[in-house]
C-alpha cells in the first residue's frame, strides 16, 4: 500500500490518496470512504460485479467512496488495484496500458505519475530513470515520478502497466 501523506491513518488523519492491491476470494462488502473517490481495476482473475456493475480485467471503474458497494466474484478469486483519493485535493486518472515488446517513455509533465507493473504472467520490465539509475520492475512493483521526472521502460515481451496520474487541485489561495 502507498499513502500520501505516509503517516495518514483514516479517518483520524485522512490521506490525500491511497494506492492498494487486494486479493478477493469471496463475495462481500467494500469499505465505505465518505467524501472520497475510488478507482478500481482487476489485474488477475475474471472480474467482479460491484453492486451489479461488471468490472472486467482491463477496465477501470470509478465510483464514490460514499456508496456502499457489494462485490461478487465473476468466476473465482481476483486481484484488484485501487486508488482512493480526496477529490478536493487531488485529481486522479487511472489507465491500463498494454505495452508491446520494446522501449516506452513515461513523463510526469504537470502531474505526479505512478506506473505499476500489472501483468502477473509477464517477466520483469527494465527501467531507466535519471535519479535511481537502472533497475527491474516486477509484478506489482511501482515507479513513482514527481513533476518533471521521466523514465524509460524496456519490455522484453508484451506486458501491461497500470498508469496513475495525480494532479493537485488548486486551492485558490495562491498569491
Asked if residue 80 and residue 114 are part of one domain, the reply reads: no
What beta strand segments (E) does 25-173 contain? 28-29, 37-44, 48-50, 53-55, 60-64, 70-73, 78-85, 90-99, 102-107, 112-117, 125-129, 133-137, 142-145, 150-155, 159-168
Q: What grid cell was written down for 97?
A: 496500458
In a domain, 174, yes or no: no
Domain boundary among 57, 88, 119: 88
Tell me: the pLDDT tens digits for 17-67? 999 999 999 999 999 999 999 999 999 999 999 999 999 998 999 999 999
Task: Check if the beta carbon of residue 95 is closer than 8 Å to that of residue 59.
Answer: no
pLDDT at 2 over 90: no
Tell me: the pLDDT tens digits for 83-139? 999 999 999 999 999 999 999 999 999 999 999 999 999 999 999 988 778 999 999
Asked if residue 102 and residue 78 are part of one domain, the reply reads: no
- Name every residue whose Cβ is closer than 8 Å to that of residue 91 and which is 6 or more positions away in sequence: 166, 167, 168, 169
In a domain, 175, yes or no: no
Tell me: the pLDDT tens digits for 39-49? 999 999 999 99
Find where cell 496520474 sits: 165
Burial of 161 (0-12, 13-18, 19+ CB in 10 A): buried
Domain boundary among 88, 104, 126: 88
In a domain, 76, yes or no: yes
Asked if residue 79 and residue 118 are part of one domain, the reply reads: no
Structural domain boundaries, residue 147: 91-168
Coil, strand or helix at 44 = strand
Q: Is the peptide bond before 124 cis (omega within 30 degrees of 0)?
A: no
Asked if residue 101 and residue 83 are part of one domain, the reply reads: no
Amino acid at each position: 500500500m502507498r499513502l500520501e501523506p505516509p503517516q495518514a491513518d483514516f479517518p483520524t488523519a485522512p490521506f490525500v490518496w491511497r494506492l492498494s492491491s487486494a486479493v478477493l476470494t469471496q463475495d462481500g462488502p467494500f469499505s465505505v470512504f465518505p467524501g472520497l473517490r475510488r478507482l478500481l481495476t482487476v489485474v488477475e482473475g475474471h472480474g467482479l460485479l460491484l453492486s451489479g456493475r461488471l468490472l472486467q480485467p482491463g477496465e477501470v471503474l470509478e465510483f464514490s467512496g460514499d456508496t456502499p458497494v457489494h462485490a461478487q466474484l465473476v468466476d473465482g478469486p481476483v486481484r484488484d488495484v485501487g486508488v482512493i483519493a480526496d477529490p478536493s485535493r487531488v485529481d486522479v486518472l487511472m489507465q491500463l496500458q498494454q505495452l508491446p515488446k520494446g522501449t516506452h517513455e513515461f513523463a510526469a509533465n504537470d502531474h505526479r505519475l505512478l506506473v505499476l507493473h500489472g501483468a502477473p504472467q509477464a517477466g520483469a520490465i527494465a527501467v531507466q530513470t535519471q535519479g535511481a539509475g537502472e533497475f527491474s520492475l516486477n509484478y506489482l512493483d511501482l515507479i513513482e515520478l514527481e513533476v518533471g521526472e521521466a523514465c524509460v521502460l524496456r519490455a522484453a515481451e508484451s506486458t501491461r502497466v497500470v498508469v496513475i496520474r495525480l494532479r493537485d487541485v488548486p486551492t485558490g489561495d495562491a498569491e
